[in-house]
Amino acid sequence: MTARHLCPLCQHETELYVQINRLPQLQNVLYATNAQALASPSVDVAFRICNECEFLYNPEFALHDLEYNPDYNNNQTASGTYQRHVAAVTDLLTQTCQLHPQSRVLEIACGNGYFLKTLQARAGLDAVVGYDPAYADQYGLDNAIVKDYFAAIPGDTYDLIVLRHALESVVEFEQVMQSIAESLNETGWLYIETLNLDYITSSGNFTCLSHECSRYFSLQAVSILLRQYGLKVRQAVELFDRNYLGVFAQLKAPNSNVTRKIDFLNTLAASYERPVIWGISGRAITALTHLGWDANKIRYGVDIDQSKQGKFIPGTGQEIISAAAAIDYKPDLVLVSNKNYLTEIMSSFPYQTTFATIDGEFCGTN
Ligand SMILES: [Zn+2]
């Protein structure tokens, strides 16, 4: 009777994907002689796939065989194409995670430090932290990179943790994921870049498979994995001609996100004497109702739709006035319910005042 192979991620039955024999145990170690190379350790691997969660893995993966040391050479940084990929990803991280000079950024399994150094330069970060036992003092990061495996330090949290091309083969996988979850601050981001199983299975490109990569994730499988550690995928991209999957995740905190938004809007509205809300849509009414903002807090609703003007908002009771009447009222804060109209509304004011979108993403003057 054949042994049952259950998916390590979702425990469903798996099936054989492809059997590849004589794969080197470590594919990025080269040898000084032909004899040494031919005698190097190899292993026959039966890669298995779970069609339930779209996860592919190597059941033969044996941690005790893999020793990452300075002989391990996975350096792709000489290639201009690779450098452009890194530049594009670091810019995407800077934008998505809203990095600023004081952001606390950690890269786990940072290799020679090239990515971390590029991220530090392009995002203008004051400092970065890296962990990799194979780091050999490249790129001048010897004060920033710890030559060891990463483990969480209580109270030490980050705005961004980067895990690139390590999820496939990281030693002590579960502990690393747990340490990451414990080391993210409340609004912190985890960025994972990994081989893209959705690409491998759709293209049949078996050359992406190797013994030292134990795990191959589809976006669905990454989502399932992250959920097990209290994390949620917020955004995902296919990179490098679909070869890689880039995933942005945060701690699951739907309620605290709402609380933060409410606190922000209440503080904002309380700082002004004559606020109005512009665009009496469902969003505006939900905001007014949920925040308990009656006409004492927000004096008027504003809408260019004449059929709404002169009427009153349900629940909170503000009168809806025209754009011209609102401009005459001289509000010191205009809350804009739909930011698509922000520029148009700002440019219609003949004097300077403050505008803010109710999603909290913009606050400034015209
Ligand atoms: Zn599965």
Give the model confidence (pLDDT) of 345-366 as tens digits. Answer: 999 999 999 999 998 888 889 9
**CA 49 to ligand 1 center in whole angstroms:** 8
**Are 233 and 307 found together in one domain?**
no
**CA 8 to ligand 1 center in whole angstroms:** 7
- Number of domains within the chain: 2
**Are 282 and 240 found together in one domain?**
no
Residue 334 sits in a domain whose CATH number is 3.40.50.720
**CA 65 to ligand 1 center in whole angstroms:** 25
**CA 239 to ligand 1 center in whole angstroms:** 24
| C-alpha dist (Å) from residue 40 to 32, 105, 209, 210 | 11, 38, 19, 15
**Are 309 and 290 found together in one domain?**
yes
**CA 195 to ligand 1 center in whole angstroms:** 17
pLDDT at 277: 97
With b meaning 16 or more CB within 10 Å and e meaning fewer, what string describes 205-219? eeebbbbbbbbbbbb
**Domain for residue 312, yes or no?**
yes
Q: How many residues does the chain have?
A: 366
**CA 160 to ligand 1 center in whole angstroms:** 28
**Are 229 and 273 found together in one domain?**
no
Beta-strand relationship, 231-239 and 333-336: unpaired
Where is the domain boundary, 216, 236, 252?
Answer: 252
Per DSSP, 109 falls in state S
Could you tell me the residue range of the domain that residue 163 belongs to? Answer: 80-252
**Are 240 and 106 found together in one domain?**
yes
Query: Within its chain, how far is the Cα of 22 from the centroid?
Result: 37
Give the model confidence (pLDDT) of 14-47 as tens digits. Answer: 999 999 999 888 877 889 999 999 998 888 999 9
**Domain for residue 73, yes or no?**
no
**CA 58 to ligand 1 center in whole angstroms:** 13
Is the pLDDT assigned to residue 2 strictly greater than 60?
Answer: no
CB contact set of 157 (below 8 Å; sequence gap of 6+): 104, 183, 184, 185, 188
Give the model confidence (pLDDT) of 298-352 as tens digits. Answer: 999 999 999 999 999 999 999 999 999 999 999 999 999 998 999 999 999 999 9
Closest by CA position to 293, among listed 318, 259, 323: 318
pLDDT at 30: 87
**Are 357 and 324 found together in one domain?**
yes
DSSP-derived secondary structure for 295-346: TTTS-EEE-S-TTTTT-B-TTT-PEEE-HHHHHHH--SEEEES-GGGHHHHH
**Domain for residue 242, yes or no?**
yes
**CA 9 to ligand 1 center in whole angstroms:** 5
Residue 178 sits in a domain whose CATH number is 3.40.50.150
**Are 244 and 321 found together in one domain?**
no
**Are 270 and 246 found together in one domain?**
no
**Are 307 and 356 found together in one domain?**
yes
**CA 51 to ligand 1 center in whole angstroms:** 7
Is the pLDDT assigned to residue 124 strictly greater than 80?
Answer: yes
Where is the domain boundary, 230, 252, 274?
Answer: 252
**Domain for residue 170, yes or no?**
yes
Where is the domain boundary, 252, 286, 302?
Answer: 252
pLDDT at 69: 54
**CA 32 to ligand 1 center in whole angstroms:** 41
**CA 174 to ligand 1 center in whole angstroms:** 16
**Domain for residue 55, yes or no?**
no
Give the model confidence (pLDDT) of 78-102 as tens digits. Answer: 789 999 999 999 999 999 999 999 9
**CA 301 to ligand 1 center in whole angstroms:** 52
Query: Up-side HSE of residue 138: CA atoms within 13 Å toward CB?
Result: 18
pLDDT at 48: 96
Is the pLDDT assigned to residue 64 strictly greater than 50?
Answer: no
**Poorest-pLDDT segment among 40-44, 52-56, 119-123:** 40-44
**Domain for residue 29, yes or no?**
no
Across 72-79, average pLDDT: 66
Is the pLDDT assigned to residue 70 strictly greater than 60?
Answer: no
**Domain for residue 214, yes or no?**
yes
Give the model confidence (pLDDT) of 198-251 as tens digits. Answer: 999 999 999 999 988 889 999 999 999 999 999 999 999 999 999 999 999 999
**Are 240 and 96 found together in one domain?**
yes
**Are 160 and 246 found together in one domain?**
yes
**CA 217 to ligand 1 center in whole angstroms:** 10
DSSP-derived secondary structure for 207-231: GG--TT--EEE-HHHHHHHHHHTTE
**CA 341 to ligand 1 center in whole angstroms:** 45
**Domain for residue 3, yes or no?**
no
pLDDT at 359: 86
**CA 170 to ligand 1 center in whole angstroms:** 19
pLDDT at 3: 64
Residue with tokens 């940084």: 77
Closest by CA position to 23, among listed 214, 210, 216, 213: 210
Give the model confidence (pLDDT) of 139-190 as tens digits. Answer: 999 999 999 999 999 989 999 999 999 999 886 788 999 999 999 998 999 9
State the amino acid at position 224 in one-letter form.
I
**Are 247 and 273 found together in one domain?**
no
Across 252-281, average pLDDT: 87
